[in-house]
Amino acid sequence: MAKELKHCSFCGIEASASVPMIAGTEGHICEACVTLASQVVSSWGKKKELTEMQGPLPKPAEIKLKLDQYVIGQDLAKEILSVAVYNHYKRLKQESNKTGNLGDSGQEVEIGKSNILLIGPSGTGKTLLASTLAKIVGVPFAVADATTLTQAGYVGDDVENILVRLLDIADGQINKAEWGIVYIDEVDKIARSPEQAFGTRDVSGEGVQQALLRLVEGSQVKVSVKGRRKDHNGSDTVMIDTRNILFIAGGAFPGLEKHVEKRLMPPKTSIGFHAEVSNSEDKPTLEALLNATQPDDLKRFGLIPEFIGRFPVLAPLEPLDVDALIQVLTEPKNALVKQYQQLFAFDEVQLEFTQDALVEIAEKAIERNTGARGLRGILENVLRRAMFDVPSKGNVERCVVNAEMIRGQAEIEIVERASAFENADTLGLLASGGQS
């Protein structure tokens, strides 16, 4: 009687010396199917977590609409960020909708990620865009500062600490952290310094860029969890897959426009009577130069080519003019004017700004070259005396801020409430027909 050959009950492969079988009650399973089954079971838990983490899929226009409520202008940057986050959500949906059949052929298209680099002057809203995005998205969102990072082995934070922060925000759940979004601020500060002496280690510049390459590209990174919840094996380290983590980097890149201008408008070297006279009016604006930024310009600024290649999407932010700064002061949900009006309202005082005062505040911020970030400092300086005196008076109805006050030529206009006696006299005059 011929001996019956063993075969895998799932894929049908026959047992051999190179294909061992695990025997069950009514069948067998091969090593490959065991591995695949383990992946399917783990994907069930991941699918459940992703379903709990996600709400309705927001469209790009909806994401931009929410950004508009907090950030003025920067339509191009908002559009780029909205599309990136929407695609990130779609990848989440695709992952959570996988059926996990052992018979799948594995021919699904793997959707890659497109990391984003935000470029713009200080005070144009890069960090605000990132923090506002954190309120909108339904995935873990971590913000890291590149200036605190150093190359591994030196004093300071290692780049892996970014993932530790993301894991903390995800409540220690690795599956959630692996679908998060990370914003790296002040990335221009890790540019390679041209004055760096040859042969010395740039541990907080180029060294950080090189350390970030593996993190940003996508790889298995070992992260320490000391003092936190350990994994099921009781280990102090866990492995995080960064392939699906979306990285957004931002920086002011001061002086980048000079490299762009030099590329677009090479300096004229001809001299003598036949040389062309340069016209300053032909010089492109800062906004136009930033919009024309190419990877080669970032390389000249000091970013290494490998790092630039990991951020294929460049999102320039335009400098804010007077009108945009006035909108920043008055229109967003958390506008500064609304915030200070609320502070005065707690003392039952109305705070009013004339249009000329708003223009003067915006112009002063442009003079200081601080962008929207400098507006709060100006308002604090202007309103400090009023915020000190008004609570003690108790009979103030309104405070009016005008342009002369912003320029320091006058004090804030304070309108006091009419006293009870004055109100009684007024009512008595009206009752008597105006006769004394």
Whether 245 and 178 have beta carbons less than 8 Å apart is answered as yes
Q: 151-154: long-range contacts (C-beta < 8 A, 24 or more apart)?
A: 151/201, 151/203, 151/204, 151/207, 151/208, 151/210, 151/211, 152/211, 154/203, 154/207
Tell whether residue 8 is among the known ligand binding residues.
yes
Could you give the angle at which helices 355-368 and 322-330 cross, rounded to 10 degrees?
120
Pick from 350, 346, 347, 376: which is nearest to 361 by CA?
A: 376
- Neighbour count for residue 17 (Cβ, 10 Å): 5
The answer to whether the annotation marks 103 as part of a ligand binding site is: no
- Non-local CB neighbours of 62 within 8 Å, separated by 6+ positions: none
The whole-angstrom separation of Cα 171 and Cα 177 is 9
Provide the pairing of β-strand 141-145 with 220-224.
unpaired
Residue 49 burial (10 A CB sphere; 0-12, 13-18, 19+): middle
Q: Is residue 128 marked as binding?
A: yes
Q: How far is CA 264 from CA 101, 284, 299, in A?
A: 55, 9, 16
Question: Is 399 annotated as belonging to a binding site?
Answer: no
Q: Checking phi first, is residue 12 left (phi over 0); if not, alpha (psi -120 to 50) or beta? A: left
First to last CA, the chain: 132
HEC letters along 33-51: HHHHHHHHHHHHHHHHHHH
Task: With beta carbons less than 8 A apart as the criterion, state whether 247 and 284 touch.
Answer: no
Q: Who's near 407: CB < 8 A, 6+ residues apart?
A: 360
- Any binding-site annotation on 123? yes
Contact 139, 53 (CB under 8 A): yes
227 labelled ligand-binding: no
268 is in an annotated binding site: no
Q: How far apart are CA 191 and CA 147, in angstroms?
A: 11
- Return the H-helix or E-strand segment holding 289: helix 286-291
Query: Does residue 125 have a known ligand-binding role?
Result: yes
- Both tokens of 320, joined, read 């804010």
Nearest partner of 144 among 50, 245, 225, judged by Cα: 245
Instruction: Write out the H or E segment, with its range, that includes residue 163.
Output: helix 160-169
Annotated binding-site residue numbers for ATP: 121-128
Annotated binding-site residue numbers: 8, 11, 30, 33, 121-128
Annotated binding-site residue numbers for Zn(2+): 8, 11, 30, 33
